[in-house]
Each structure stands twice: as structure tokens, then as C-alpha cells.
Chain A
Amino acid sequence: MGMIHEIDFGTPASTSATMVSLTIDGQKVTAPFGTSVMRAAAEMGTSIPKLCATDRVEAFGSCRLCLIEVEGMRGTPASCTTLVAEGMVVRTETDRLRKLRRGVMELYISDHPLDCLTCAANGDCELQDQAGAVGLRDVRYEPGANHVAKSGNPLFQAKDQSNPYFDYDPAKCIVCSRCVRACEEVQGTFALTIEGRGFDSRVSPGQHESFLGSECVSCGACVSACPTATLIEKSVVEKGTPEHSVVTTCAYCGVGCSFKAEMRGEDLVRMEPWKDGKANHGHSCVKGRFAWGYANHRDRILQPMVREKITDPWREVSWDEALSTVATKFRAIQAAHGKDSIGGITSSRCTNEETYLVQKLVRAGFGNNNVDTCARVCHSPTGYGLKTAFGTSAGTQDFDSVEHSDVVLVIGANPTDGHPVFASRLKKRLREGAKLIVIDPRRIDLVRSPHVAASHHLALKPGTNVAVLDAMAHVIVTEGLVDERFVTERCDRDAFEHWASFIAEERNSPEAVERVCGVPAAEIRAAARLYATGGNGAIYYGLGVTEHSQGSTTVMAIANLAMATGNLGRPGVGVNPLRGQNNVQGSCDMGSFPHELPGYRHISDDATRAIFEKLWGRPLDNEPGLRIPNMFDAALDGSFLGLYVQGEDIVQSDPDTHHVTSGLSAMECVVVHDLFLNETANYAHVFLPGSTFLEKDGTFTNAERRINRVRKVMSPKNGGGDAHGYADWEVTQNLANAMGLGWHYAHPSEIMDEIALTTPSFAGVSYEVLERLGSVQWPCNEKAPEGTPVMHIGGFSRGLGQFMITEYVPTDERTGARFPLLLTTGRILSQYNVGAQTRRTANVVWHAEDLLEIHPHDAENRGLKDGDFVRVASRAGETTLRATITDRVAPGVVYTTFHHPLTQANVITTDYSDWATNCPEYKVTAVQVSPSNGPSAWQEDYLEHTHESRRILGRLDAAE
């Protein structure tokens, strides 16, 4: 194994097509126009000494170490800021250069502590490397003014250890500005600066604040960029430098960043973003880079457990006993209540291979199609809407596409919090001059943050997405902004004409919908004109689009806008769902829905079914199975009594918690397969301990359809008495075998081979291909052996693009005298989904509890002060949490996150859902907010039940 060493070329690559020839140290080389001499030299294998240069950021030219000689040029220019020129003759090493570099290095070292042997960066320090490279042998300067001596030194600054994940030691800083530039250019937060000047120069977060107290979002870009131990991970300080590394994929959001897991033995030392990762290009966020401590958290359950009733304490058992218990109970339920009385839920956190096995277990083993997935409650409308319009249930672009966008429309998404690494790339493009339109009830950070400002923020009332998008389309159609050529060549013309006459009706005009959506008509008109005429227009959207009663309609309205303006089928444009979870795209691709086999092929399609029936050797039911909410309905009817839930906490994440818990309570055998005793496990009879993404091989598919490898870096810890632990795919396989299915996959690559064999869009995918290409975007088959970064080039998957009528229908969830406010929900940077992972890390310093955002007017009417406990009540239920008063939300709108189980925001959300896919209407709930003294009765009951149901026999400290 060993460490993966990435070459730092010193300056970013040039994208120019014009090549320039020059001579470096007697060798003829060619490099693209705009390349630095430093990079051209690095590409031929010559590393010129450097400190302030790194290919993560633009050249800066401050350290004076990378000097070169160029024939015909005076002096010794810096190679990082000197660009290659035709016929240039460069020498990188001469006596004169050696002397100059040593002199510079001597000055650096004169103000640097010489504690290398006890320094955390020992062996991983560029200052150390470069001192060696320039041959520094002596420091002639007497001790004088310095930043190193601790006592009696006004220039000395103590370490800043405020950030939970990294330390800042100003004494070791060489003021190369790499951290400041990384924060600006890579992350785009601008939290750091160099304060002072000359010898007084120091790195300052904010206004000479601590890192934690500044605007820093803890993405780690500065730490990665730092050439010394000035900014260094606490885990490296604690454990030492890593000795080997393995490339794997983050298990948080749908961006799917590639990381090097840097290890000592089986101990993870740090996660370092991988420069060759095609989704993140070496960038990361606080979750993926730092928040992996949950993998070893003491709350993790490592032993299988069973119990008769959900009020009993858990009893730890062997794997054999747990699996045979499940097999026996499931078969008994089926014998008594028919084969349709059990089902399974696949996980968007688990790998493609694991998801594939769970749906296979349900279809081939249970003999029904009662399989669903958490995408039901997030992006099922995306699947439905995009399949209808374009023929494929996925985003159209790769993330690199944003580099070519001129106008970006963000609707119902909050990328800086939900998809931070993509947000950094988007912000970079916006700083380069692209225009931004934000459609969101809340003033998200993108609307205005340093160096980024939306041209238009359409702060609509929750639930009026379709009205606003129709009004934009109205402007485009009635003002003659339609891309007629695109529509004629690429779309169904009759459907377009039908749609255009509908959309042109006066009731869809901005002036007509202004009253409904609360957005001034002039703003809608201006935004529509900008999107239609501003060059490459790209739409990015999130759950603020899908989690509505008209979620599917909104997705189709988005598709209509893109088709009408010809913004499809090339880089820089497109329709891009930002997917919430690491493998939600994959779980949908793998046939997790009750009506679809892998590859989005309907279960009623005989030819498709035949492929699987032949391979699996069993007949498959041709009727769609139950969706998640219907499973609970059926449970309450007494016809659905057994459920296998892999890696999903439906009690916390699904709407109308009362309905979910009463459904689960009515079942006879609920099997939870997870890392922790989550909220759903409170209602479970069998608990199967899961494995983390660090403990398994497999693949995740991100929001750009990119299939990334997940690689095992440590053994699964869930052995529970057996000689070794089990990856989740092995657990599912063992369960299938306990039910008599006779599976014998030896490695996830064999499961991928089966997926490729049965699913045309994955036909070309194999672990060998992934190893060779790094990653691949489906469709990957004969037509596209290296995958498909941008879809629908030259034609849509379905043939002609389909315009759909998108009539705005207000939701049944309305405000009135009893519930006058609209609640909408979202997420925050430091936490992820229901928080099961991130709450078990130091990320809680940024977000210890869920807060209710309320506008000052609404707060004043209710006599609320910042930090007060408030009761939030809806028709469905009530909960309490603390209020924070802010004008980020409009009057009449309140907002909260759903990361903490005690808040139980979904106790309040209703059971209204998308007309097409049952995706719940999380984003609109009519509520009343009033002062409160503390937790609601429901919260108290729930806490008690949680405590009761987490008891484990023989253990005093029942895990949370």
C-alpha cells in the first residue's frame, strides 16, 4: 500500500489550446499558453524549490524561493509568476540561484522554531523539505526579534485551539498566504486575512478572532494548503503522521467527494480531499473532512440484538440467532398473512451493491415488490418529472459544467449548507462574473455573501414554486424569448404548442401571480429575461422543489423552462437536482422503488422481468408493491407485519411521525440494520449492527451520476462474537441465505457485475473500469464506454423533449386564523440529515440544537425574544424548540432544521404529499407559534419511550 503521493505542480493547469515550446535545463518541452515555468518544469519532473506556490491556488510570488534564470531576461524572476514563452531558455539551478535560495531560506528559518523532531508535521513539512532542497546548512543570524520565543516576547501569539478539528500555531507560520488564498479562491468564504505588514504580518481569522469565532466554516482548505504545522489536524497531533492511504468516497451528501483515507494500521488519522476526485477536485467540507468520529463512537452497536416486544429490553445474541429469528418470523408472517405481508426499505447511505441486494431480497426472497427507499421522501418527483420530460431520471450535467455557466438559477436549494463543495465551485464561477437568480422563501447565504450577490432573489411564499416558474415561462413565451430552433429540432412540437398556449394565458402572467406568490411581477419578468438571454443558463434545485404537493409538477416546470430556452445538451446548462444523500441517486438507480427494477424499468414490463427471473431463478410479481406510507397504512389494517429497514431512520425522517410510529408499533417483526439505536430502532424487534463506509467495499453514485469507488480501510467492527465483522452487503446476503436463497457473492465487484449484466445503462461498469478511469458517469455502455458527463447531447433519452402542462394548484395545507404561519424546513452546514452521524462528532459546536427562525414582526406580535422556548403547533401535532429572530425569513414564514431527534420537526409536518409520487410536503406546514415553558407532552412521552426501548440487558449505560 503506502501513501498516495500527489504531485503539487505549483500553479493551476492552463486550459489554453495553444501550445508553447521552450527549453528548461536543456530539455525541450511544450506547455499550454498561460502555464507557469514552475508548472512546465514540474510536468517534466523537475521540482523547483517553492513555499508559497501550490496548484490549489493562483500564483502569488511572495516567497522568493522559486527563482530561475531566463536567457535574455534580467535578474532572477519567480518561476511561479513567469509564464512560458516561445523559445524561452530556462535554467532552474545555478550557483547564483542556489546562493539566493539559501539566503532566503536562512531568513525563513531565523524566525521558525527548530523543534522538528517533536513537531506534528515532522516528515510532512514543506519547509523542512525545501530547507533540504536548497542545502541550508547554517543559520548565521543571532537571535533577534522573532515570533517564536514564548516569554517576554510581544510578537509571540499563543496557539489557537478553538476549532475542534485543527490547531493554529502562529509561531510556526511563514506567512506564505496559502491558507488565506485557499479560503478565498477554493472555499470562497474569505474568513482569513494577513493582518499587519512586514515583520508584523500574521494570519488572522476575521478581525483577529479565534477560528471558531470567525466566519470560518471549517472546510479544511487552509489546513490542506498549509506547508508547515501552523494549521494542522488535531488527529495528526494526537496520532502521528499517516503511513498509508486509500482513495474512497465521502458518505455524506450527494456531491460525492473523493478523499484519501490516511491511515496508521487500521486507525484513520485523517481524511484528505483527493485532487484527482472529479466531483471535488481536492476540496472538502467540514462534514466529509472532519466529521468521521462517529465511526468509532461509543454509541455504536456492535452486537446483534433481539427482543419479543418493543417494551422489552434488548437481548444481545449471536449473528446466527439474530438472522434465524428474522427468517423464522418473516416466514411465519407470510405463512399467516400472505406473501405480501412483509417488505424492505433500502438505504441511500449504503452502497449500490448493498441496495441492489436488499431489493433483490425483497423481490426474489420475499416474492413481492414491497421495497421502497428514502428517496420517496426527497427526490422521487425528480425521478418522475425528469423521466417524463427527458426520458432519464437524473441530472443532466457533471459538476464541472458550472464552470461554463453564465446564468445560474438556484431554486429550493441551499448549496452552501447542503452541498458545500459544489457551492464553492458555484461561487467561484459567480466571482468570475456569472449571474445568479435565487428562488427561495428564505434569504440563503448565496443571496448575498462576500463577493457573491444574486441579481434577483424571488422570495416566494412556500408552496408557490409552480406559479413562479409558470410566470417565468409566460414571460419567455410572450416576449418571444423561446429558442425556436431548439424546440423545433429537439422537442415534441405539438406538445410545445399546446403548452405555449396554456402558459401564455393571462392567469400565468407575473402580474396575475404576484398576489399568490408574493414576488413583485417586475422581479419575475427581469429574472425570466436574464435566464432566457444571459448565455448558458443552468438550473440547480433541491428539496425545496420536490417536497411539495406539486413537487413533480415543479420538476416538469423546470424542465419546460430549460427546453424552451434551449438550455440542455451541452456544458454550462442543464437541469441539476442536488441530491441530499451520498447514494440517493444510486439507490434509485438500483431498483429501490416498488414499481421499478434496476435502471428505472417498470416491473410490469415482461421483457425486463424475464432478465431477472432467468438470472435469479424465480418468478417475479408483476404488480408494483407498497410505498413507504402505504406500508404503514397496511400495518394499521393488519395486512403488513414485517419490515427490514437498512440504514434509514424513518421515524425521524418521514412525515407525520405519529402515523409512522403507530404503523411500526402495529408490526410483528421490525428489523433495523444500522450503526446506532436510531429512532426507528425504538420500534424494532431485531437489531442488526451495520458497518460504516470505512469498513466496506462498494460504490456510491453521486448527484452527477458519477459512480465512485468506496474502499474498505478497516475491518468491520460488528463481529458480535464471530471471528470478523460483516459489511452490510454480507449481512443482507446472510439474511437471504437464512431464508434459503443460497447466495454466494464473495465480493461487491461480483454484485456490480450482475448489475452490469442486467441493466443497460450500467452495462459497461465494472470494478476494473472504475479502477482504470477513477470513476464513471452512467450511462456507461457500448455507446459510451467511458461514461456520459453531459446527457441529451443531440437528442433526449426519450427522443423528443416533452413539454408538460404545469397548472398551479395551491396546496390543501393553508394558513388560517388557527395556523397563520407557514413552516418550511432545511438543513445546516455542520449537520447531516437526521444527525445520527454528525451529532456524534464535534460538529455539535456549530449547531447544538434545532432553532426556529422567525421574522422580527411575527416574534414581536407574540412577545417572543431571541432564544425563547416556543411551541410550534400544526394540525398534525406540536413540538417545542428555541426561537431565533431573523429577517432571513419573510413575515409569515418560519423555518427550522430537522437534525435533532428531540425537536421532531416531523411531528408537525402533515401527511399531504406529491400527487404523483407521494413525496411528502415537508416544505409547507401551516403552524402557530406561541411562547412555551419547555418540552411538549409528546416530547416527554417520547423521551421516556426512547429511554425504555434502548435498555440492553446486562448493560448499565444503555446507549442513546
Chain B
Amino acid sequence: MQDQAGRVAAIVERFRGVEGAALPILHAVQEALGYVPAESVPMIAAALNRSRAEIHGIVTFYHDFRDKPAGRHLVRVCRAEACKSMGSDQVAQGFEQALGIRLGETSPDGAVTLEPVYCLGLCATAPNAMVDGKLSGRLDGTKAAHLAAGLQP
């Protein structure tokens, strides 16, 4: 945490004087640490002269900000309307079965986090998923299992 605190402090310092810095700081912290530790919230609040509650409200509002580190691989399955109508249930099931975890979980060895996402902005190729930042469209259960199998432990 000492190192973490130092890194958060450096990020906060980088945005000193920038208006509306809360989101950029939170993105930078997540980028640097892989998540937004609860301990960083008071530091960010103090720097921005906001309350802990306010920063907590922002962090928890956005599902993208996580309160603990994700697995080494991140699989996001779109569960929004267009994908759902085109079979996102099968895609999700395909991932779940192949990885042995449910949506919203991380595998016990920390290899993979599987989570729902609400629209990847790619409805034309529904159903979609995003694996480690890379988009895949027109998926089904089999293709999902195949993608899952390709993940290094």
C-alpha cells in the first residue's frame, strides 16, 4: 500500500489545478493499479477538496471502476438489448462453461474475470464480447468457448 499510496499521490499531483479532475484521476488510478483501492478515495477527496462520500459515489456509479484487481484476462459479454435479442445468453453460457465461473466472477487462480457489460457500441454485429480489449462479434456458445480456450492461464 505504501507504494500504492505513492503512485496515487503522483497521479493526483499530475492533475492538480485541472478542472473536473475526478474522472481523469480515477481512470489514471485504475490504469496504474488495475483497480481503485478504497484507500485511495480519501486521498483523491482531500486533493479535490471533496468529501469521501462524493468520490465514493462517483467510483460506485461507474461499473468500470473496480474495487479489487481483475483477473489477468478480462472477458466482457454484452448483455444489452440488441445482443440479448441476438443470443447473448448462449454466448454468456459458453464463456461460463468453458471458464468454470459465472458472470461477475474471477477464476480462483486469478486468471480470468468474466463480467457483463451493457453495450459495446457494436450492435450491428450482435452478439458481442470483448476479450482483453479486443472485440469479437457474431458470437455463439461454441465461438465463446473457443475464445475462452485461447486464454493463457
Contact = CB atoms under 8 A, between A and B. Distances in A.
Contacts of A206: 51-53, 56
A449 B53 CA distance: 13
A197 B59 CA distance: 11
Interface string A183-209: 000000111111111000000111110
A204 B54 CA distance: 10
Interface in A432-460: 448-453
Nearest to B60: A195
Contacts of B57: 193-195, 204
B50 interface: yes
Nearest to A193: B57
A662 interface: no
Contacts of A340: none
B152 interface: no
B38 interface: yes
Interface in A188-239: 189-197, 204-208, 214-215
Contacts of B38: 207
Contacts of A194: 57
B22 interface: no
Given A207-B38, A207-B41, A195 B49 contact: no
B56 A450 contact: no
B135 to A, nearest CB: 24
B56 A208 contact: yes
Q: Chain B: interface secondary structure?
A: helix
Contact of A450 (B41, B50, B61, B63): B50
B56 A451 contact: no
A190 B50 contact: yes
A192 B53 contact: yes
B49 A207 contact: no
- Chain A interface residue bracket vs B: 20 to 34
A190 B61 contact: no
Contacts of A189: 51
A205 B63 CA distance: 20
Contact of B54 (A190, A208, A214, A452): A190
A449 B45 CA distance: 10
A464 B53 CA distance: 38
A193 B50 contact: no
Interface residues of B, number: 15
A215 B52 contact: yes
Interface string B37-80: 01001100100011111101100110100000000000000000
A207 to B, nearest CB: 4
Interface string A638-675: 00000000000000000000000000000000000000
B50 to A, nearest CB: 5
B49 A453 contact: yes
Interface in A293-308: none
A208 B59 CA distance: 12
B16 to A, nearest CB: 14
A190 B56 contact: no
A620 B103 CA distance: 90
A448 B49 contact: yes
A195 B38 CA distance: 13
B52 to A, nearest CB: 5
Given A195-B60, A197-B61, A451 B50 contact: yes
B49 A215 contact: no
Nearest to B46: A448
A206 to B, nearest CB: 5
A204 B49 contact: no
B53 A205 contact: yes
A920 B38 CA distance: 48
B69 to A, nearest CB: 18
A190 B51 contact: yes
B56 A207 contact: yes
A787 B54 CA distance: 43
A450 B60 contact: no
Contacts of A195: 56-57, 60-61
Nearest to A452: B49
B104 to A, nearest CB: 11
A214 B53 contact: yes
A193 B49 CA distance: 15
A193 B53 CA distance: 5
A453 B46 CA distance: 12
Nearest to B53: A193
B20 to A, nearest CB: 14
B129 to A, nearest CB: 22
Contacts of A214: 52-53
B150 to A, nearest CB: 33
A726 B42 CA distance: 53
Interface string A161-203: 0000000000000000000000000000111111111000000
A841 B39 CA distance: 34
Contacts of B50: 190, 450-451
Contacts of B60: 195-197, 204
A250 B38 CA distance: 40
Interface string A704-733: 000000000000000000000000000000
Contacts of A207: 38, 41-42, 52-53, 56
A191 B51 contact: yes
A191 B56 CA distance: 11
Contacts of A208: 56
A853 to B, nearest CB: 19
Nearest to B48: A450
A215 B61 contact: no
Nearest to A189: B51
Nearest to A215: B51
Nearest to A207: B56
Interface in A119-142: none
Interface-central residue, B45, B51, B54, B56, by most chain A CB under 10 Å: B51
B41 A193 contact: no
Interface-central residue, A194, A208, A214, A450, by most chain B CB under 10 Å: A450
Contacts of A190: 50-51, 53-54
**Shortest beta-carbon contacts, A-B, top 4:** A193-B57, A190-B51, A193-B53, A195-B60
Interface of A: 189-197, 204-208, 214-215, 448-453
Interface of B: 38, 41-42, 45, 49-54, 56-57, 60-61, 63
Given A190-B51, A206-B56, 20 more contacts: A190-B50, A190-B53, A190-B54, A191-B51, A191-B53, A193-B51, A193-B53, A196-B61, A204-B56, A206-B51, A206-B52, A207-B38, A207-B42, A207-B56, A214-B52, A448-B49, A450-B49, A451-B50, A452-B49, A453-B49
29 contacts: A189-B51, A190-B54, A191-B51, A193-B51, A193-B56, A195-B56, A195-B60, A197-B60, A197-B63, A204-B53, A204-B56, A204-B57, A205-B53, A206-B51, A206-B53, A207-B41, A207-B42, A207-B52, A207-B53, A214-B53, A215-B51, A215-B52, A448-B49, A450-B45, A450-B49, A450-B50, A450-B51, A451-B49, A453-B49
